[in-house]
Amino acid sequence: MTASEAPAVEIRGLAKHYGPVRALDGVDLTVEHGSVFGFVGPNGAGKTTTLRVLLGLARADAGSVRVFGGEPGAMRRRIGFLPDVPGYYSWMRADEFLRFAGSLFSLDSDTLEARVRALLDMSGLGGVNTRIGGYSRGMRQRLGIAQALINAPDLLLLDEPTSALDPIGRKDVLDMIAELRGRTTVLFSTHILGDVERVCDHVAVLDHGRIRAVGPLDEVVSRHAGAQRVVVQLDGDAGDLAERLAGETWVETITRALPTASNGGDLVEIATDDIPRARRRLPVLVAELGAGLVRFEVRQPSLEDVFVSLVTAEPDPGRAERRPAESEGNGR
């Protein structure tokens, strides 16, 4: 296999300790060319450490890392990177900053000018004359991605590119990432699962330095989401229903949603593999309680279901299985 046919990223058995902390504990990960790959995990899972090893900025204790079939250090010119806390020269304008970033790659002046123009256009910063110091966070992130693309990389690594952004800023950044699909392989870390569902075709879930699930997004969701979900809404308090459901053998878990302006409260979400039984049994229970059934809905599993089942699966005295649990539901 030649270097150009090799996967964009191939990680095998990667391990790294920081003193007693096992940051990476045998990570295996393959990112194929052209994919937009979401690397998700809770705080401290090891996402940044993995990206740092991929960039040749951190040394692993064990395992192997290949970028386009070669050593990460040797492939550095084919990689673009946006760190989680990027640094900027606040007195520069966007075009000046991009020229400065490009100068680090010894591009000829025509190529550099063409790329600066194209990237200003792509990031929506073309007509902006404000200095970077006056930018919103969203504008800074868009400039950060533009800067990471100045060397026309084949692989773009982004460390939590949307975590501090408002919804408009997030949308703009996600649109930029989506525009790269098929042209540049993108690997971005995040704990915002909705972002992955919006733009990624592949996903890996990392927790405590281990990959818990990896593959095409729809396959990961269908394989790991666990039981199906039924959302039930009553016309009154759902506490009694939750109590009754706790005694039903076909019910795996019950989650109650706290009232919000949109759901009006009274929502119960049930995980079960027996939907036909749920259809028959729930109306009976609701009638026995003298309540009215406002909604009965079988919900599609989501990446959040995968994340919750894989990442919080360890024994935790604070979590109760098969008992009504209260969460800040949003009435999904």
**Binding test (CB under 6 A) with ligand ATP, winner from 35, 37, 47, 83:** 47
d(Cα 90, Cα 78) in Å, to the nearest integer?
27
Report if residue 23 touches ligand ATP, rule: CB under 6 A.
yes
Contacts of 26 (CB under 8 A, 6+ apart): 13, 14, 15, 63, 209, 210
Min separation Cβ 287 and ligand ATP, Å: 47
Min separation Cβ 311 and ligand ATP, Å: 11
DSSP code for 213: E
**Binding test (CB under 6 A) with ligand ATP, winner from 2, 4, 43, 129:** 43
**Binding test (CB under 6 A) with ligand ATP, winner from 25, 30, 40, 48:** 48
Instruction: Give the interface segment with ligand ATP, choosing from 42-50, 66-74, 167-175, 178-186 (CB under 6 A).
Output: 42-50
**Binding test (CB under 6 A) with ligand ATP, winner from 18, 89, 91, 100:** 18
Report if residue 106 touches ligand ATP, rule: CB under 6 A.
no
Contacts of 252 (CB under 8 A, 6+ apart): 226, 227, 270, 271, 272, 273, 322
Q: Residue 253, class by beta-carbon neighbours within 10 Å (0-12 exposed, 13-18 middle, 19+ buried)? A: buried
d(Cα 226, Cα 216) in Å, to the nearest integer?
17
**Binding test (CB under 6 A) with ligand ATP, winner from 27, 37, 38, 49:** 49
Letter for the amino acid at 202? H
Report if residue 134 touches ligand ATP, rule: CB under 6 A.
no
Report if residue 61 touches ligand ATP, rule: CB under 6 A.
no
**In this complex, which beta carbon is closest to ligand ATP, that of residue 175 or of residue 304?**
304
DSSP code for 302: -
The three-state DSSP-derived secondary structure of 7-42 is CCEEEEEEEEEECCEEEEEEEEEEECCCCEEEEECC
d(Cα 158, Cα 154) in Å, to the nearest integer?
13
Question: How, if at all, do strands 9-18 and 228-234 pair?
Answer: unpaired
Report if residue 298 touches ligand ATP, rule: CB under 6 A.
no
Instruction: Give the interface segment with ligand ATP, choosing from 39-47, 90-98, 253-261, 283-291 (CB under 6 A).
Output: 39-47
Helix, strand, coil shares of the chain as percentages rounded to 5? 35, 25, 40
Report if residue 168 touches ligand ATP, rule: CB under 6 A.
no
Report if residue 44 touches ligand ATP, rule: CB under 6 A.
yes
Q: Which pair of tokens denotes residue 261? A: 């302006």
**In this complex, which beta carbon is closest to ligand ATP, that of residue 21 or of residue 258?**
21
Min separation Cβ 21 and ligand ATP, Å: 5
**In this complex, which beta carbon is closest to ligand ATP, that of residue 44 or of residue 134?**
44
3-state secondary structure (DSSP) of residue 40:
strand
3-state secondary structure (DSSP) of residue 207:
strand
Report if residue 41 touches ligand ATP, rule: CB under 6 A.
yes
Task: Using CB under 6 A, list all residues that contact ligand ATP.
Answer: 18, 21, 23, 41, 43-49
